[in-house]
Amino acid sequence: MTSNRFFELSVAALLVGCGGSDASHVAMQTISAPTEIVAKSALPETRITTGTVRSATVAPLAANVIGNVTRVLVVEGQRVHAGDVVVEIDDREARARRAQAAGGVDEVDHAITAARANADVAAKTFARYSALRARGSVSAQELDEVTAKNDAAQAQLQQALARRVQAREGASEAETFLSYSRLRAPIDGIVTARMIDPGAQAAPGIPLLTIEDDARYRVETSVDEELATRLRAGDAVAIDGVAARVTNVVPAVDPATRSAIVKIALPAHSTFRSGTFVRVAFAVGSRDGITVPSASVVRRGELASVFVVGSDGIARMRLITIGEAQGERIEVLSGLDAGEKIVGRVTDDVRDGVRVS
């Protein structure tokens, strides 16, 4: 209580320095204001760590072929949808390959038409000679010759049909190769990095763009080994005051730092952005503490104070030390004791020395 008395005397001295006559006038006033009896309550015990916001889905985009980039259709920060063309690569060679493959398919189709006609004639001839042989009108040798021709014609038709399958596969491969000259966005999201310009050469494995899903973000934070063993998927946490939940605790512990990575899912369409530095609060238990309504705290620069109502009903300003916000209340670390009465909501009428009814 000695420290509280010191705070009261300090505030009183400041008021006197500003004009004692005004303080005497205020002391005559009576106002109506809500009051609250300060009491201890169970407060969550938290462990604070720092983390980084990352997109839940990051898609680096690289070419599948070697070629010169002719157009880049997006810039950083641009929103894209899955399937949108974002980069074009010189496709002249691919188009030539597709044309050649298409020509091969046409050639095989013509060969199949001729082989099918020949096979039909051979099959009819074989049927006719078979009937004649049954009546004894042709010799066995003549039937054998017709049979051989029919078998050859049917085999040639099957070979032509097999070549058409191969030709069509080649055409499909050429079409796929041509499609590689147009890079498409694999997901809906935001372009966060562009590493290529028209005229540069693209090659497999070299990233050209990065697209991030901006609808789903997560926070990655490093926690000590002891805390990691206490965390589970689904645990509630606070990210700079925003409610979130743990999705994954990486089981591997870094042997150098004795820490583990914890991944936390942020609410959909949150205001956080990739790369943002955040503070993560893990609830690890509870403790007794004092809180007061945020509306009861007066802040002037680094100083915080409340109006304590004495047994005489007079409100007197008292400096306090505040801690973390607890919803619409704020923790008081020092300057107040349980059982004291304070003004619950400070308005312009509440001043040092007024009587509160």
- Per the CB < 8 A criterion, the answer to whether 245 and 184 are in contact is no
CA nearest neighbour of 296 among 339, 341, 346 = 346
In the prediction, which pLDDT does 271 show? 83
In the prediction, which pLDDT does 269 show? 73
Kindly report the backbone phi and psi dihedral angles of residue 158, in degrees, each rounded to the nearest multiple of 5, phi listed first: -65, -40
Mean pLDDT within 172-190: 91
Structure tokens at 60: 């680096």
> What is the rounded average pLDDT for all residues in the chain?
87
Task: Estimate the crossing angle of helix 140-179 against helix 92-135, to 10 degrees.
Answer: 160
Q: Inform me whether the pLDDT recorded for 12 exceeds 90.
A: no
Structure tokens at 23: 């303080």
In the prediction, which pLDDT does 7 show? 45
Q: Inform me whether the pLDDT recorded for 277 exceeds 70.
A: yes
Q: Higher-confidence residue: 286 or 345?
A: 345
Return all residues near 151 (Cβ < 8 A) that are at least 6 apart.
none
Separation of CA 150 from chain center: 66
What is the reported pTM?
0.58
CATH, domain 2-43+286-356, list 2.40.420.20, 3.20.20.105, 3.40.50.1970, 3.30.70.2660: 2.40.420.20
Return all residues near 246 (Cβ < 8 A) that are at least 6 apart.
231, 232, 233, 234, 235, 237, 262, 263, 264
In the prediction, which pLDDT does 223 show? 93
In the prediction, which pLDDT does 272 show? 86
Q: Inform me whether the pLDDT recorded for 2 exceeds 90.
A: no
Task: Tell me the C-alpha distance between 238 and 111, whole Å.
Answer: 72
Task: Tell me the C-alpha distance between 12 and 55, whole Å.
Answer: 54
Q: Inform me whether the pLDDT recorded for 300 exceeds 60.
A: yes
Q: Inform me whether the pLDDT recorded for 263 exceeds 60.
A: yes
Q: Inform me whether the pLDDT recorded for 322 exceeds 90.
A: yes
Residue ranges of the chain that CATH labels 2.40.420.20: 2-43+286-356
Return all residues near 265 (Cβ < 8 A) that are at least 6 apart.
56, 216, 218, 244, 245, 247
Q: Does domain 97-162 have CATH number 1.10.287.470?
A: yes
- In this predicted structure, which of 197-201, 283-287, 338-342 has the lowest mean pLDDT? 283-287
Residue ranges of the chain that CATH labels 2.40.30.170: 49-57+214-284
- Per the CB < 8 A criterion, the answer to whether 296 and 342 are in contact is yes
Q: Does domain 49-57+214-284 have CATH number 2.40.30.170?
A: yes
If pLDDT is split at 50, 70 and 90, which confidence band does 117 have?
very high
Instruction: State what percent of residues in the chain have pLDDT above 90.
Output: 62
Residue ranges of the chain that CATH labels 1.10.287.470: 97-162
In the prediction, which pLDDT does 28 show? 57
